[in-house]
Structure 1
């Protein structure tokens, strides 16, 4: 994984006010497409990339169905998926109307500790990158 070193002035902690160097990951500019992911998942397997894609789409549909009913879904080695939403506050209980007060329904994903941890990572220092992809000197 590529990283760059960035000079920062710390604002908290025992080194507050000191300038230090902190590493930041430099992510690849190109994303891995869903099709490429499915192709890779199908490699050395008895299923094709279309089968892998079908499983992902079905998983999304079933996950949405269960979470919409309030279930927490155990995704095995991936982690758990649980429903959440935001709610407006009202002064009186009788003023609460779900269709008006509840919004932003979402599925929250919590990866397992093992899934969260990257494995077999090698680090390579590169020049600091600007947001537009140009190299920053220094």
Structure 2
């Protein structure tokens, strides 16, 4: 299997007068939802699809709960989820408060097995 990519023209945001350059971008090949994953998992083991879906739903709820507590969620060979933030820089430590926080995001750090997957990908250009 190959990952399909297309080419996209992009301007240089630091020099809008510069000519566009072309870059590769992945073309999504669909998506998979919880129900499909639950069905696939149930076909690979003795657990029912309904039980798999219940476990996946509980996993989602618990990941959200733990992230709200400021914890790193470690999912074994999959990777880790963690909340990150960016804030305004201030002159002294005493000036820094919750109001200085500008944005938050969730970081995903893939585990070694997931990172190794990236080393063995093949690519195919989308037909025009």
**Residue 23 of structure 2 is aligned to residue 27 of structure 1:** no
2:90 aligns to what? 90
Q: Residue by residue, what CA displacement relative to the aligned partner does 1:106-138 show, whole Å, maximum 9, x if unpaired?
A: 3311111212306986766651xxxxxxxx2xx
The answer (yes or no) to whether the contact 2:6–2:27 under 8 Å persists in 1 is no
More helix by share: 2
2:112 aligns to what? 113
CA change 1:2–1:63 in 2 (3 A) is closer
CA change 1:43–1:85 in 2 (3 A) is same
- RMSD across aligned positions (CA): 3.5
TM-score, length basis structure 1: 0.59
Q: Return the index of the structure with the highest Cα Rg.
A: 1
Gaps of 5+ in 1: 7-21, 128-135
2:103 aligns to what? 104
The answer (yes or no) to whether the contact 2:5–2:24 under 8 Å persists in 1 is yes
